[in-house]
Each structure stands twice: as structure tokens, then as C-alpha cells.
Structure 1
């Protein structure tokens, strides 16, 4: 089995240190380190994802977008990180008012992770922002009926699901 080369070990150590800084409440310093890593490893999806995430934490959404886009292009991320990158990119597009791109990204994410309620929730918000209120409400009600532990929602689950299919139904 091949041992990782020194450059790969450096990358892993530097990336872990930057992520640790963000987790310890110093996203500004993490950002600086991640930008250096992104310059050094421009095709590394994990570095791009962590760089995007850190920009988002700092409220620098516009600067996060190219890193998210780089992260989700092609493969290379774990399923968990790919999920986070797609959610982050879709949500960031939405925050920036780039609603059609948010819908497209979040639809793709839901197709890849169909059981994820967070993705469906963010998709519903983006659909609302594009004026697709009926589709947004349908998605929201379907998710509510499927996931709520509220006794009242549980009791009326079938009715909620039926109305979700036809929001204009009176019976």
C-alpha cells in the first residue's frame, strides 16, 4: 500500500487546523488559512467546500459561491460533505437573490438525497422566492405530514397529505 506523500500530509494537517479554528470560534483566521490552501490546491473539492463554508459563517456569501461551485463540480467529496456543499450553495444562492439557481441546485440535491428534510425545506423556500407558491406549499405540507411529531399533525396526517396533493380541494 502506498503511503501518502508529504504534500498530502501537509494538506490534511493544514485543512484540519483551519477547520478546527472555525470550530473554535475563529473563522477569520480559518478563512485566511483556507484561502492559502485553496490557492495551493485549486482542484481540491474538500478544500473548496471548507473554504466556502467558512465564508458563509462570516456572512461573506458572495465570496463563498465560487468555492461551493468548485466543491460540487465533479466528485471527490464524501456523501456528507457533498450534501453540505449542495445545501450551502443552494441556500447561498437564495440569500443572494439568485433564486432560479437556488431552485436548480436544491432540486439536484433533493434528487441525490431524497430523504433529507432540510434540503426539501430550503427548496420550498427557494420555490416561494420564485413565485411557485403552490409547489412550495405542497412540498412543505408533505414534509410536515411525514416528519412532525406534533399530536395534532399526526392525527390529521392523511388530510394534510391529501390537501398537499390538491391545495384547492374543499373536501
Structure 2
């Protein structure tokens, strides 16, 4: 299969993934097996499995995508977020935390990574850090006029949850 055929097959598989079909997984796995060093194909295969609720099958694809090279910045972000979230869903909380923190090293201000990190923190018995993280994300990203009116207070109390007068 030449590059043009690969590109055409990938585009077709992505369309199938967007439609939520199992055929997308099968096509992407075949392509990924044929091009084992192609990180973008592995990422698309992971995404297809994840979107069908096949999290355990998505993990090795995400791992292969992240171990390879050639992912765009957007794909790398998606792979880190997807793998971190998938580990959490599977109850692999420490792996989830490690992956999401790795993502935040690369994308330090990313609200989605921080939100999923908060969920994993909650799952690992760190509710204070989870709430602090969510309050910071809410203050920084909410367009709600009420949240924005009290943003300074929300962000202050993110670090002072137990403070009273």
C-alpha cells in the first residue's frame, strides 16, 4: 500500500469512526498493524475503540501512539487525554494520574487535562486537590457572568477551602 492508498484508507476509517461503527476499529487495527510505526494510525485506532466503549482494547493503541513519533500537537494532546481518561475508567488510577500529569507537563494550562486529573485525584482519595483543581479550572474558563463576578473569590478559596472567619 503506497502513501496515497494509506491516506485514502485512513480517511475512510476516520469517517467510519465518526459514525461510531465497529468497522472503523477493524479497519484502523488492520492499517495500524500494517504500519506499526505510524503513531497517527495507532491514535485513530485507540480513539475508535474508546468511542465504542472498548477501553481495554484502546489502551495498547494509545500506548503505541505515544511511544511513536509523528503525532501532531493536537493528536498528542488527544492521545494523552484519551489514555489518561481510559486508565481512569478501567480503575488504573495511578496510571491515569501519571499520564494526565505527563500531559500537563506538555500542555500546562489545558483545562480538559486538568479536569480529568481532578477526576483521577478524586478516585485516588485526594478530594481536596480534586476540588481545588476544578475550582481553578472553573474560575479560569467559565463564561458564566456569576462565576466571573466572583472569580477572584473562587480562585482564592481553591487554595483555602477550610478557611472560615
- Give TM class, smaller chain: over 0.9
So what's the TM-score if we normalise by structure 1? 0.91
Q: Structure 1 residues 26, 153: CA separation in 2 closer, same or farther (over 3 Å shift)?
A: closer
- The separation in 1 between residues aligned to 2:31 and 2:111, in whole angstroms, is 33
1:105 paired residue number: 99
1:84 paired residue number: 78
Superposed CA deviations along residues 55-107 of structure 1, whole A, max 9, x for unmatched, are: 01111100000000011114310001111111110010000000111111111
Which structure 1 segments of 5+ residues have no match? Answer: 1-5
Q: Structure 1 residues 35, 74: CA separation in 2 closer, same or farther (over 3 Å shift)?
A: closer
- Equivalent pair of 1:103/1:127 in contact (CA under 8 Å): yes
Q: Map 1:1-171; keep pairs closer than 5 Å.
A: 7-23=2-18, 25-171=19-165
- The separation in 1 between residues aligned to 2:34 and 2:68, in whole angstroms, is 19
Q: Structure 1 residues 139, 26: CA separation in 2 closer, same or farther (over 3 Å shift)?
A: closer
- Equivalent pair of 2:13/2:28 in contact (CA under 8 Å): yes
- The separation in 2 between residues aligned to 1:111 and 1:26, in whole angstroms, is 31
- The separation in 1 between residues aligned to 2:37 and 2:150, in whole angstroms, is 50
SS in 1 for 2:71: coil
